[in-house]
Structure 1
Amino acid sequence: MHGWFRNLLKSRRSLASQHEEKPSKTNVLTPISYTPTSSSSSSSGPKNLPSALSSNLRWRLKYDLLVCHSLADDDIEEAKDLVSFLEASPRNLRCFLWQRDVCPGSPIFTEFCQAVQESHLQALLITPDFLQEEWCMYMMHQALAEGPMSKRLIPLIQNISHDKYPQEIKFFFYINLSRNIDQGYSLINDTVLKYLEDLVKNERTHDSNVDSSHNGLSWEGSSQGDDLISNNKPAETSL
């Protein structure tokens, strides 16, 4: 673990120079840019965005997507490319990338746990290096702890066989970036948008049900109300 911290500090110090020296990949839909966009760093309200992105429910959390990856150079570059794609217009998603967004000198574990709580979804870039790093497995378990049965986790696999896929998330659908990376990036964006759209839809349904209950018949002295209460009694079970 101490070696991991040394590698992290070294990687963050050389981040700018690595970005200048390494050529961008040709299979990414948008140019690589590691500069945080306004959509990533801003916590203010929405501005001229699609309905799912402009909803108040979305802006209750700081990030739309948190991206977890290993310290391997290839994984770092892949995560940067993905975040650049998602943050670029017209997608305008707000992403958390710990190598960029963790404050220097702050406790990394604490900041990561807070970022998990402040993000709608978490993406795991699962590669051979990811499976070898204890820190990555910690990140995966932390994300699972926040929502073990929810739809908030997006596994992304690259260059691993099916038998290496972590058992902890075997019931989650994954996106295979090894087949078509452009299509994979677009699918990630669509998944985030679908999640936000479902949030808005569920909120509207809930509000509609609340309004209907307020506008319904009074329970006091109503035989219909008595029938509903009796019908909602828990069913008896036999062992």
Structure 2
Amino acid sequence: MASSTSSPAPHSRSKKPLGKMADWFRQALSKKPTKTPVSPESPPGDVSQPSSSNSPPPVGPSSEASPSPPPTHMGADGSSSGSSSGSSSGRWSKDYDVCVCHSEEDLAAAQELVSYLEGSAASLRCFLQLRDATPGGAIVSELCQALSSSHCRVLLITPGFLRDPWCKYQMLQALSEAPGAEGRTIPLMSGLSRDAYPAELRYMYFVDGRGPDGGFRQVKEAVVRYLQTLS
């Protein structure tokens, strides 16, 4: 005869454990997250954070106070060049500081002037036609190139200068390239009276070459003074 005691249904045994699990989840959700205590002596930013392998290393005070210098570019000769543009502007933007314009019969006086300017403390870079012109080059091209590649132009005005058509061409070319640039064209008059001073230059002062040094010192000071305006 079969027993009359019946076993409970399978789903009735799981009700109590499920109820306990639901109560545990409700308690877990109702709990508030605890805050990390912060010391009153330190600002909130000093609270230590958990490190992560993917996070970058912290930046120290030394890296914040000293920024990295700008990149240095190396020239073709191995010399370094910074961010300054002094090499491409100012005095070094042209090949010569001064171009000496003279006649052929005044070559000795022109060489003496160039020797004085190049041997001075300023070490001026001079263009002397018979010394620095390109062999085989056209005279007109060489004269124009000498003027355009020089900051200042010294006109050695003598009786031979006034008779030489190429000297007059250089004088007019210098005036046409920079008619308003004061200090660039420096007339040095030697062996002439004031009345013989060219009419094209009457609006500017000239250096009198009758002094003890032939006016060389005044010429040097005029060139140096103009070069200082470029820096």
TM bucket (normalised to shorter chain) is 0.5 to 0.7
Deviations 1:125-159 (A, max 9, x none): 00011111111111110111111121210000001
C-alpha RMSD of the superposition: 2.0
**Greater share of helix:** 1
Higher RCO (C-alpha under 8 Å, 6+ residues apart): 1
Structure 1 unmatched runs, 5+: 1-43, 45-52, 201-239
Name the amino acid aligned to 1:129: G
| Rg larger for | 2
Q: Which residue of 1 aligns with 2:171?
A: 140
Q: How far apart are residue 186 of structure 1 and its match? A: 1.4
Q: How many residues align?
A: 146
Q: How far apart are residue 175 of structure 1 and its match? A: 0.4
Distance between the aligned counterparts of 1:121 and 1:76, measured in 2?
19
- Where do 4+ consecutive residues of structure 1 move more than 2 Å? 53-56, 179-182
Q: Which residue of 1 aligns with 2:146?
A: 115
Alignment of 1:40-119 (within 5 A): 56-72=89-105, 75-119=106-150
Alignment of 1:150-189 (within 5 A): 150-151=181-182, 152-181=184-213, 184-189=215-220
Structure 2 unmatched runs, 5+: 1-76, 78-85
Deviations 1:175-209 (A, max 9, x none): 01122225x21111111111011222xxxxxxxxx
SS at match of 1:92: coil
SS at match of 2:134: coil
Q: Percent identity?
A: 44
Name the amino acid aligned to 1:157: M
Q: TM-score of the superposition, structure 2-length normalised?
A: 0.60
Q: How far apart are residue 106 of structure 1 and its match? A: 1.0
